Amino acid sequence: MDADFGIDLAAIMRVVDEADVFIVRFGLIDQRLLVDARPNDAGAPFIRVVPPASSAEERYRFLHRERPGLPLPDQITVFQWPRAVQMMKDLGVWDRIERRLVAVGGEGAGRDVGRAFTDAQRLERADLLAAIRGGEGYETIWERDRAAE
């Protein structure tokens, strides 16, 4: 366990290196990162930021819909990422995901990895702004006194 970050980086790297299908549950946003490193008929792996599923069965149905040419995986490994998405990149996790998927699917997979990273960061920023502004799911604890303006 990395005491500075509250994560077991070695265990996470093993999942990234070895699991056929894994999901990253972000600590700061509800969406998940779904990675299926198995190549489809076109030789492409799958990576995308997806909404949370209400059950494992729902996630398997989603995978079946998105990857119809592949059998369902024996298991889907899930791990929590309690820090910001940028920290995944800073600690080398995102780059490890990219290396694995590019080895399977080439440059197209690299673009998909970049798109997923951008999507996750965008969702994090939107959530942070909602927290600051008291948006949906958040409540402000104080407001500016408009009468004083």
Dihedral over Cα of 125, 37, 79, 7: its sign: negative
Determine the average pLDDT of the residues in 23-47.
95
Of 53, 18, 17, nearest to 34 by C-alpha is 53
pLDDT digits (tens, 9 = 90+) for 5-30: 678 999 999 999 999 999 999 988 99
Q: Which of 29, 49, 55 is closest to 124 using CA atoms?
A: 29
| Residue 6: per-residue pLDDT | 73
Q: Can you tell me the mean pLDDT for 102-122? A: 96
More confident residue, 110 or 138: 110
Supply the pTM of this predicted model: 0.86
134 versus 77: the higher-pLDDT residue is 77
Sequence spans of domains, the chain: 9-148
pLDDT tens digit sequence for 71-103: 999 999 999 999 999 999 999 999 999 999 999
The tokens 């056929």 sit on which residue? 20
**What's the CA gap between 123 and 33, in Å, rounded?**
12
Q: Which two tokens stand for residue 127?
A: 């959530």
- List Cβ neighbours of 50 (8 Å cut-off, separation of 6 or more): 31, 32, 33, 34, 62
The answer to whether 96 and 10 have CB atoms below 8 angstroms apart is no
Q: How confident is the model at residue 140 (pLDDT cuts 50, 70, 90)?
A: low
